Amino acid sequence: MTRILFINPNTRHLRTLLTVYPPLGILYLSSTLMKAGYEVKVIDADIDNLDLPDIQCAISKYTPDFVGITMNTLQSKAAFETAHYIKKHGDIKVIAGGPHPSALKAEILRRCKSIDVVVYGEGETTFWELIKAIEDERSLDTVEGICFRNDHEIKTNEPRDQIADLDRLPRPALDLVAPIRKYPGPYP
């Protein structure tokens, strides 16, 4: 069974806790992929204050086939460092998504050679199609909503249409980040 690991990167170097809610983007992706039959795990390195060796230890134990890293702009430095560290210690496909990669698709791939693919926009269908294309050894040209390296060229595919009925998505897999009370919510 294909294993997918999602990581919310640790941004404690900013001297503040950025993660105050569960990372809903990757939890929606997780529930969608689990419904499709994939094994999924989530590491919230920010809320659990995990450093890169901690993440690598978890990767060694879980042995994922794919690692997805979410990032907003403030998380980009930590996400790039996490991707570099993962690639330094193994040959795993690293996929980035979230608001920052959605805005700067090709720039993300230019700035971080350790990221293989960027999923932009809503990722629930795109991520699943990307995994299937890689598993089936099909061209990534057919997957809408991604930006990737094709030899030495960076290619951005057509965007995917937005999900018309959000109620068709499974509920976010909150159990993957339990206990939920470790998320403090906004202050005050």
pLDDT in tens, 58-84: 999 999 999 999 999 999 999 999 999
Whether the Cβ atoms of residue 147 and residue 118 lie closer than 8 Å to each other: yes
Residue pLDDT, tens place only, 148-167: 998 889 999 999 999 888 88
Contact 173, 31 (CB under 8 A): yes
Average pLDDT of the segment spanning 86-93: 93
In the predicted structure, residue 188 carries a pLDDT above the cut 80? no
